[in-house]
Amino acid sequence: MRSKIIPFVFVAALAATTLTSCAGASTNAALDPNADLTKETLVVSNWADYYPETLAADFEAATGIKITIVNHATNEEVMGKLTTGADSGIDVAFVSGQYAQALNEAGLLQPMEKSMIPNEKNLYTEATTLGYDVGNNYSMPYAWGTTGICYRSDLVPTAPTSWNDLLNPAPELVGKTTMLSTERWMALPALKAMGMSVNSTNPDDLAQVKTQLLTTKKTLLAFDDTTFYSKLVSGESVMAEAWDGWCNYGIAEDPNIKFVVPSEGSDLWVDTMTVLKTSKNKEAAMAFVNYILSAETQGWVASNILYKVPNAAAMKLVDPAVLAAYPNMNMTAADLLKQESVIDLGSFSPEYTKLATEVAAG
């Protein structure tokens, strides 16, 4: 027995040392308010096409801080970089609220140095009460919104009002609807339709969701996270579970596309900015967060990327024509707060992945 185990233990130990050697020490020194920021350089990771194209140049011109912006495609991708390496080289990471929560609980985030972020005052008061980080102690909200139904008002017989209109579509809509495939959002419509929490950790709830989704799957054109709006534009689909900002991309191409938050309610998702503990440029990182929270920068984001921002001063700068063209941009902070904030489910989250696999493979 033993002789068989020894080679294995060796391999495991080898793997373990390779892996743990990555988990380096974190620099925990207090921030220096008098630091010479121009000597610091920043690496920021954000979603592609989710920030002004000239952001790097503008920020450098305004502050003298050299900055490199790298892109990630998904939360999970940047989480992979942040949770497995020692110093990922990233100073500021844009992640959704529930991931900021997970990063903080893993001890990876630098608390926000409020004295260096005076622009925090621009935020709606509602934006300081978000479930994943009440008081914005280790994250600052960047953009927020909700999930609803994006539909072709000219091609559906009656406008949808309930998640059930999507989950159990009218016979003439069978094969013409899509749903999101990312696990938490795949489960959301069924959870809400049955009056459950989007953060449910009850296995019975998920079992019921699974039954519903396996029925729904037969009526779907596809599960689609990234191109559902172009399917709506082409008329391939007429109704899609959609994030509000992405539905706006469809509305931009066809004004017949409309967005509705179903009566059973939905989620409140927030994309946030976080500063990593491993950063050696924390003062510059705080200056960057502050720069983003200025009315001009986030105002540009809202006007051009068509996502709502939790920044009252910035929303005031949005052209009324934009607000008229994209009605969901008018949702107020109070409207959004009525929805349920998505939080990280820790050790229960693999259950959602399993559910998504069961539905996709079922």
Partner 1 sequence: MARQPASSIARKRAVQKWAGVPFLAPGSFMLIVFVLAPLILILGYSFFQRGRFGGVVFTFSFDNFARLIDPLYVNVIMTSIGMGFVVTLLALALGYPTALAIVRLPPKWRTIALVAVLLPFWTNFLVRTYAWILLLNNAGWINQALQGLGIIHDPLTMLYTPQAVAIGLLYMYLPLMILPLYSSLASQDAQLVEAATNLGASPWRVFRTVTFPMSIPGVLTGCVFVFVPAMSNFVIPELLGGGKTVLIGNLIRDQFLKARDWPFGAALALVLTVLLIALLVAQQWASRRVTEGPKEKKVTSRA
Nearest to 82 by CA among 14, 18, 24: 24
Q: Contact between 37 and partner 1 (CB under 8 A)?
A: no
Nearest to 290 by CA among 311, 262, 263: 311
Q: Contact between 5 and partner 1 (CB under 8 A)?
A: no
Q: Contact between 14 and partner 1 (CB under 8 A)?
A: yes
Segment lying near partner 1 (by CB under 8 A), choices 62-70, 199-207, 232-240, 312-320: 232-240
Q: Contact between 253 and partner 1 (CB under 8 A)?
A: no
Q: Contact between 118 and partner 1 (CB under 8 A)?
A: no
What track of x and - describes contact with partner 1 for positions 142 through 181 (by CB under 8 A)?
---------------------------------x--x--x
Q: Contact between 133 and partner 1 (CB under 8 A)?
A: no
Q: Contact between 182 and partner 1 (CB under 8 A)?
A: yes
Give the nearest distance from C-beta 235 to partner 1 in angstroms. 6
Q: Contact between 84 and partner 1 (CB under 8 A)?
A: yes
Task: List binders of partner 1 among 199-218 (CB under 8 A).
Answer: 217
**Closer to partner 1 at the Cβ: 202 or 353?**
353
Q: Contact between 12 and partner 1 (CB under 8 A)?
A: yes
Using CB under 8 A, list all residues that contact partner 1.
11-12, 14-16, 18-20, 74, 76-77, 79-80, 83-84, 102-103, 105-106, 175, 178, 181-183, 217, 220-224, 234-236, 344, 346-347, 349-350, 353-354, 356-358, 360-361
